[in-house]
Amino acid sequence: MWTIPNQITLFRIVLIPVFIVVFYLPVSWNHFGAFVVFWFAAVSDALDGYLARKLNQSSAFGAFIDPVADKLMVVAALVILIQDLQVWWISISAILMIAREIFISALREFMSSRGKRDIIAVSQMGKYKTAAQMLGIMGLIWYPTYDIPLILFEFPHEILLFAAFSFYAIATVLTFWSMVIYFKAAWPELSK
């Protein structure tokens, strides 16, 4: 249970309250700090999966806790974005993303009870959705204040804002599309 990948996953869960506290700190760099914490969580998500395969340390506990950690971090960030930005389409999209995560989790549980979890295993589209979602969320966490000058990164603020909204919009489309695909794959079992 205490493999390196599982420790990284548990570290990601510990980062959730850190992310929330940093975001609401009464300091000028709170958005950038929250962006950095979320970035660490996103990188650790990729790292724990890579290490589990590379070190041959895959485990039942890891297979369970990894998606839980991912969903908790993403949902925490989406709730913060709804409250902080108060932009109608971002809020609707965030609610859709949260609903999709709940729906797919329940669908996977149902399919597992039927011994058919592989039918709705994580697809390549799900990976693209996650990548777009992470990039969009990170950009939207950072964008409202620009508390660290972007001139250090040699591109104007508008590019970050455009990229953040674009990735978030792409993630929204892929969220809905992947939910439909998973539902169609599970429909034969659901309709019995």
Query: Residue 110: which CATH number?
Result: 1.20.120.1760
For 3, 117, 180, the CA distances from 135, given in Å and listed in that order, are 28, 28, 23
Structurally, the chain folds into a number of domains equal to 1
* pLDDT tens-digit series, residues 55-104: 888 888 888 888 899 999 999 999 999 999 888 999 999 999 999 989 98
Provide the residue range defining the domain that includes 71. 4-190
Per-residue model confidence as pLDDT tens digits over 15-59: 999 999 999 999 888 888 999 999 999 999 889 888 888 988 888
